[in-house]
Amino acid sequence: MHELGMCEGLVDLVRQQADGRRVTGLRVRIGARHAVVGEAFDHAFALAAEGSAAEGAALDLVVTPVTVDCGACGHQSESVDVLAVCARCGDDDVDVRGGDELVLESVQFKDGSALESDRFEEEADVPRDPR
């Protein structure tokens, strides 16, 4: 349930930005390497947000792909599966890069204002090789 740790970090960031305002929605960009399950993430967020300004806020989760470099044929592809194989030859001798970001992209407040930013990137603790 590593989703909960990430969500607690996110709620912290949201709280800092909210400055007492009620949060109605937020958009989070997350790398495929985190391998989060949307539903589990929703639950974890609801749990982490309980009692905070973000309680009940709508969560929009955007998964960004990893880059897959094939060691067999040299083909480069993208995938949202960290255990990806080469999209061309199917070899699993691949180097998976990127997809490890966790970014709070935007926050909407009840008063109608919104924040759009890439500034709130969280340093995520991700194992370099998920295999």
DSSP 28-93: EEEEGGG---HHHHHHHHHHHHTTSTTTT-EEEEEEEPEEEEETTT--EEEES-TT---TTT--S-
Figure out which of the listed residues 10, 32, 49, 86 binds Zn ion, where binding follows CB under 5 A: 86
Figure out which of the listed residues 37, 58, 83, 89 binds Zn ion, where binding follows CB under 5 A: 89
Cβ neighbours of 73 (radius 10 Å): 11
| Rounded least distance, CB 94 to Zn ion, Å | 7
The yes or no reply on residue 70 touching Zn ion (CB under 5 A) is yes
Figure out which of the listed residues 37, 73, 116, 119 binds Zn ion, where binding follows CB under 5 A: 73
Tell which positions 90-129 bind Zn ion, by CB under 5 A: 91
